Amino acid sequence: MKSLHKAVLVPLLAVLFVAVGGLGYFLHFYRYKAKLDGQQATSETAVDQFREWLESRPSTDEKLREIAATTLGFSSEVVDTRFRSGLSRLALTAGLIEGDTVITPRGAPTAVKNPTAESRAGSIAEFRDYLANESISAPDLYLMEATIKGSGSFDAVTRLLALAQTQPWIWSVKSFTLKPQDDEARMFEITATVTTALLPDLAPPAPESGDAPKPAIEAPEIKDPGADYILAVGSIVKRNVFAPPPPPPPEIQVTQASTDVIPSEGADPVTPPAPPPAYHEWRLTGLSGSPTQGRLAWMLNTRTGTARLLRPGEGVLDAVLVDAEAERAVFKIGDARYALALNETLADRHRVE
């Protein structure tokens, strides 16, 4: 009988042990595994979404080509020539005095490397193999630097800075100085240091034909500043901190009017003549444009600081812009035409026969 009980009890205990073990596995290990499986599935979904987002973005090569398209060329000779001519056109467009502007390049192009390669990371063992890679240690780009030195009115020198900030081929404006040339702070000497980028490794493949003539090296096109820059320049010119304070207004002496003169009955009241247009307040400060955009004229109100960019057919007061050339603009007032040189006001106009 004991052996029968033992034969029955042992299997029951074995079954009970397996059931308890299975329940413990389910309560601890299986639930924990299911939780990890859920987290893995969530992570895989996030990775797939991130991969789709990366694939939908422009490639690095496309972005680099867009940046390279804003530079002046891929050889130091071409970039140097176009950089000089572009800065000369920039000074002329801004309204600096022609013939008084000097463009001075400042040495050979400077290599700009990855900041990691220039830091102390090379002393860390984990980074040495990484920095030994030629694509990391090689320069990312080269910077060419030049200085513009010239003179002009306050609105001309501030316009030069606005134009320099607008041009895509100017990498940065490193520094500038303004120095008044007279006690009235009407004329200024400006010295500005600017840089342009050179990316020789992004140059397009050279043509197969070696006998083809080299294309002419042309000056870069000058891009007109946007409305924000125009308003900023106008506000700066209006608040010319270098100009002396205006003189106090003259004292007005009030005298007793005579009561002996009695106007005749029925006489028409005398209407004072209308004041002439304030031609002296509007100055021609710059000429720009291209064959595709048309010629443009920059006008500045010296009293209010308001800047206007005129196209042919537009005007200020009763003066309508007819044409703009490299050094002068032609306006129509009434039936007559008048020429206006840079830095002249409408009051200084010269009649064109």
What is the count of structural domains for the chain? Answer: 2
Task: Report pTM.
Answer: 0.54
> Which class for 263: exposed (0-12), middle (13-18), buried (19 or more C-beta within 10 A)?
exposed
Domain boundary among 200, 230, 261: 200
* Per-residue confidence band for 148, with pLDDT thresholds at 50, 70 and 90: very high
Instruction: Give the residue carrying structure tokens 């029951």.
Output: 12
CB 194 within 8 A of CB 148: yes
- Mean of pLDDT values over 196-203: 84
CB 164 within 8 A of CB 192: yes
* Per-residue confidence band for 303, with pLDDT thresholds at 50, 70 and 90: confident
CA-to-CA distance for 309 and 233, rounded, in angstroms? 12
- Mean of pLDDT values over 250-260: 56
Domain boundary among 175, 200, 225: 200
The whole-number pLDDT of residue 307 equals 76
**Helices 154-166 and 227-238 meet at what angle, rounded to 10?**
150
pLDDT at 231 over 60: yes
Query: Is 29 part of any domain?
Result: no
- pLDDT mean across residues, the chain: 76
Could you tell me if 283 and 188 lie in one domain?
no
Query: Is 30 part of any domain?
Result: no
Could you tell me if 172 and 70 lie in one domain?
yes
Residue 5, φ and ψ in degrees, nearest 5? -60, -40
CA-to-CA distance for 189 and 343, rounded, in angstroms? 15
Instruction: Give the residue carrying structure tokens 């005298």.
Output: 255
pLDDT at 7 over 80: no
Distances (CA, A) of 274 to 103, 137, 271, 278, 335: 48, 73, 9, 12, 20
pLDDT in tens, 26-43: 666 777 777 888 888 888
Could you tell me if 192 and 285 lie in one domain?
no
Query: Is 332 part of any domain?
Result: yes
Could you tell me if 285 and 186 lie in one domain?
no
Query: Is 167 part of any domain?
Result: yes
Could you tell me if 85 and 174 lie in one domain?
yes
Structural domain containing residue 72: 66-200
Could you tell me if 87 and 195 lie in one domain?
yes
CATH number at residue 183: 3.30.70.60
pLDDT in tens, 94-110: 888 878 888 888 888 88
CB 224 within 8 A of CB 288: yes
CA-to-CA distance for 318 and 277, rounded, in angstroms? 8
Compare 161 and 227 and report the one with higher pLDDT: 161
- SS3 (DSSP) at 296: strand
The whole-number pLDDT of residue 323 equals 85
pLDDT at 262 over 70: no
The whole-number pLDDT of residue 14 equals 67
CB 147 within 8 A of CB 193: yes
The whole-number pLDDT of residue 195 equals 93
Query: Is 46 part of any domain?
Result: no
The whole-number pLDDT of residue 38 equals 84
Calculate the CA 136 to chain-centre distance: 29
Residue 300, φ and ψ in degrees, nearest 5? -130, 130
Query: Is 102 part of any domain?
Result: yes
CB 83 within 8 A of CB 105: yes
Query: Is 180 part of any domain?
Result: yes
Q: Which amino acid is at 42?
A: T
Could you tell me if 176 and 285 lie in one domain?
no
% of the chain with per-residue pLDDT over 70: 65
* Per-residue confidence band for 145, with pLDDT thresholds at 50, 70 and 90: very high
Q: Which helix (H) or strand (E) holds 255?
A: none
* Per-residue confidence band for 263, with pLDDT thresholds at 50, 70 and 90: low
The whole-number pLDDT of residue 324 equals 82
- SS3 (DSSP) at 26: helix
Could you tell me if 90 and 181 lie in one domain?
yes
CA-to-CA distance for 164 and 52, rounded, in angstroms? 39
Domain boundary among 174, 200, 226: 200
pLDDT in tens, 325-337: 767 889 998 888 9
In DSSP terms, which residues pair with 323 in a beta bridge? 330
Please spell the DSSP secondary structure of 115-137, one letter per residue.
Answer: HHHHSGGGGSHHHHHHHTSHHHH
Distances (CA, A) of 191 to 105, 144, 149, 164: 13, 17, 4, 13
CA-to-CA distance for 69 and 144, rounded, in angstroms? 17
Lowest mean pLDDT among 50-59, 74-83, 199-208: 199-208
The whole-number pLDDT of residue 327 equals 76
Calculate the CA 144 to chain-centre distance: 18
Query: Is 49 part of any domain?
Result: no
In DSSP terms, which residues pair with 145 in a beta bridge? 195
The whole-number pLDDT of residue 121 equals 52
CATH number at residue 329: 2.30.30
